[in-house]
Amino acid sequence: MSISHQNPQLQALLRAVSGKLGIPAETLQQELQEGKFDKALTNLKPQEAAAFKQVLADPQKLDRMMNSKQAKALYQKLRG
């Protein structure tokens, strides 16, 4: 699925995170879809990285996470 066919919040978060990592959003998306989390997870603790991978693997968990107050606050912080 391309970045343009995703939930608008997910698109925005992907772009914000990719900007902070210094890589194109499409590259980050492709790496995440292929299970290559090295660039995206380099600053996380091992437990946090494992939890994040688990959420990414479950579309329902991912949707709940993206619609959480914390994700929305993070999005605003990253945009700021």
pTM over 0.75: no
Dist. CA 68–CA 80, nearest whole Å: 19
Q: Strand (E) positions, the chain?
A: none
Residue 13, number of CB atoms within 10 A of its CB: 21
- pLDDT, position 31: 82
Residue 29: is it exposed, middle or buried by C-beta count within 10 angstroms (0-12/13-18/19+)?
buried
Domain span at residue 37? Answer: 3-79
pLDDT digit of tens for each residue in the chain (80 aa)? 555 566 787 788 888 877 777 778 888 888 877 877 676 677 667 887 788 778 778 888 888 888 888 888 877 776 66
Total domain count for the chain? Answer: 1
Contact 35, 28 (CB under 8 A): no
